[in-house]
Structure 1
Amino acid sequence: MAILVTGGAGYIGSHTVAALLEKGEEVVIVDNLQQGHREALLGGKLYAGDLRDAAFMDTVFKENEIDAIIHFAANSLVGESMTNPAKYYHNNVYGTLCLLEKMNEYGVKKIVFSSTAATYGEPENVPILESDRTLPTNTYGETKLAMEKMMKWFDTAHGIKYVSLRYFNAAGAHAGGKIGEDHSPETHLIPIILQVALGQRAHISVFGDDYATEDGTCVRDYIHVSDLASAHVLAVEKLRAGADSNIYNLGNGTGFSVKQVIDIARKVTGHAIPAVIEPRRAGDPAALIASSERARAELGWKPSHDSLEEIIASAWNWHQNHPYGYSK
């Protein structure tokens, strides 16, 4: 039986494909290659197409014995989601509806969903708990929450069991050095810092240094991408063992400030990495850290790469060898 990974040629998706292959799983990948890269796939069977294309998805399900799905395929830029909400509702929400309908049609009853802690909005608690209210402050988080709710009702009506994994910032690169992070445009802090070290940017902008945190800069979770991949694999195993649907946060438990990330990147790269303090961005909370106690207890998940220095070093190795991404 095969595991279908949607969006499997993307950053977290490709690392999850690698983790599944390492476990000897048969892997099928669906990706429209809007943001993904063929070069990021270390194996598996790729179908280049879109979840919203019913005939295309019929081919995928008819040609493979799929028993579980890991669903990454989605647009994920917060800023873009606010200026083009239609794109996010059509690709994220309608795309997921199309996938769930095909799952029901072909009798596939297990799905692991790549969600986001942006479903919570402004946090009630730090670290954030799964029981906290969900009140997204952007379209991206709203669509992910809608996707979770859709899965809940498909479970009620059709017995499709799901695990939703909510997390913030994936970082780092595969230990083998063959796959890493290549977004266009790049919006994530660590690769942008490393672009400065590579001489591709003059400086890193720090948006606000007067927050109520230890050093005045925003604090966030940074989780090694391979640790996130392992959580998705564990969630599939949990569903295969007959578990009921559930939601889990994934976090490092402490969080790192922007200044801490920059300082460690300077140490890892040996570059000065100039930083310029700029005005706060609207809507940036001071601290966003997700509690992962439930995932640790119920999935048996434990991050193996929780050192920020190790996370940045793995990313630096990738970016040095691929300074302009996969195919540039």
Structure 2
Amino acid sequence: MNWLVTGGAGYIGSHIVQAFQGVGLGVVVLDDLSSGHAEFVPDDVPLVRGSILDTDLVAATLAEHRVTGVVHLAGFKYAGVSVDRPLHTYEQNVTGTGRLLAGMAAAGVDKIVFSSSAAVYGTPDTDLVTEQTATAPESPYGESKLIGEWLLRDQGRATGLRHTSLRYFNVVGSGSPALFDSSPHNLFPLVLDALVAGRTPRINGDDYPTPDGTCVRDYVHVADLAISHVAAAQALAAGRDLEPVYNLGSGDGVSVRQIMTAMANATGIPFTPEVAPRRAGDPARIVASGELAARDLDWKMRHTLADMVQSAWEARAR
């Protein structure tokens, strides 16, 4: 039984590939390498270089490798940039998901785990997000992820596709020194790159109504996230009923200042972060509950903040 991981050469996808191998399940990667890295894919895992926009390639890959289910991560993931590139975002994330589903239907593959995003919530009016929190995305990226969920839902109604979507905020750390976050937009690599280059990292606002005045956010370790993606795939394969969506959340969150302190401790580079004015639209606190995922998908926070930062630093310094 093989599973296809779209975007499996990326930061999160490569950890999911490792998690599949860790439980003895066969896995295949489809990735166009626009942001992924071929060296992230283990030598014994087939890497098909191509796009989910190519329905024929998707169908052929599924058939050739006898794939029984898909974990779908491929897409354009930069929320801020999506505001300037909405058409590209929709093509990659909405059209791409539609064509992936068409390829699955053609190959008779009826199970999918979708890597969605907490960006579907926008700026919620609650400081603890649950699956019942209203969706109100504020970027083309968030909108495209929500539409992806709708596509799965509608295909499920039409064809019996078995599916679930996993929503999460900030993914950090590393499960292997060889796998690292190379995003030019994420907080952890930005801070680590600044420290290595001799620059001082910056906090945007320290006057929020939080314990230390800085924003509190949900940060989850990438290896923990990968375990629950595989658990979702195993549940679908076993015929278990799953919720249509799950939040993979910490339940409490950490502040930006706590992250900066942990960065100084892990790197051994002492610094006092610069404090800049607040950014417009930044809420004081957004944290998700992971209770449903803990019940159904073996979700738990196995790593502390110190673990997250230390593992990210070890991968960055390698």
Shorter-normalised TM-score: what interval? over 0.9
Number of the residue aligned with 1:78: 79
Number of the residue aligned with 1:261: 259
- Which of the residues 275, 278, 283 maps onto 1:277? 275
CA distance in 2, matches of 1:201, 1:155: 51
Number of the residue aligned with 2:312: 315
Number of the residue aligned with 1:189: 187
Q: How does 1:92-171 map to 2 (within 5 A)?
A: 92-171=93-172
Deviations 1:63-86 (A, max 9, x none): 111111000001111111111100
Q: Do structure 1's residue 225 and structure 2's residue 228 form an aligned pair?
A: no
Number of the residue aligned with 1:248: 246
SS in 2 for 1:272: coil
SS in 1 for 2:3: strand
Deviations 1:281-305 (A, max 9, x none): 2222211111000000122322321
Structure 2: tracts of 5 or more residues without a match: none
Number of the residue aligned with 2:302: 304
TM-score with structure 2 length normalisation?
A: 0.96
Identity %: 41
Q: How many residues align?
A: 316
Contact 2:110 2:160 in 1 (8 A): yes
Deviations 1:187-216 (A, max 9, x none): 111121212332x25111211112221112
Q: Assess, with a 3 A threshold, how the Cα gap between structure 1 residues 102 and 55 changes in structure 2: closer, same or farther.
A: closer
Which amino acid letter does the alignment assign opposite residue 96 of structure 1? T
Number of the residue aligned with 2:89: 88
Which amino acid letter does the alignment assign opposite residue 132 of structure 2? S
Q: Do structure 1's residue 202 and structure 2's residue 203 form an aligned pair?
A: no
CA distance in 1, matches of 2:190, 2:136: 29
Number of the residue aligned with 2:7: 7
Deviations 1:123-170 (A, max 9, x none): 232210101110111111111000001110000001111110000111
CA distance in 1, matches of 2:59, 2:110: 16
Contact 1:202 1:274 in 2 (8 A): no
CA distance in 2, matches of 1:93, 1:231: 24
Which amino acid letter does the alignment assign opposite residue 26 of structure 2? E
CA distance in 1, matches of 2:138, 2:240: 31
Which amino acid letter does the alignment assign opposite residue 248 of structure 2? L
CA distance in 2, matches of 1:253, 1:196: 29
SS in 2 for 1:69: strand
Contact 1:5 1:72 in 2 (8 A): yes
Q: Do structure 1's residue 23 and structure 2's residue 20 form an aligned pair?
A: no
CA distance in 1, matches of 2:157, 2:191: 45
Number of the residue aligned with 1:326: none
Contact 1:21 1:44 in 2 (8 A): no
**How far 1:279 sits from its partner (Å)?**
2.1
CA distance in 1, matches of 2:4, 2:235: 16
**How far 1:221 sits from its partner (Å)?**
1.0
**How far 1:236 sits from its partner (Å)?**
0.4
Q: Do structure 1's residue 291 and structure 2's residue 289 form an aligned pair?
A: yes
Number of the residue aligned with 1:324: none
Q: How does 1:44-63 map to 2 (within 5 A)?
A: 44-63=45-64
Most deviating of 66-75 and 280-289: 280-289
SS in 2 for 1:289: strand
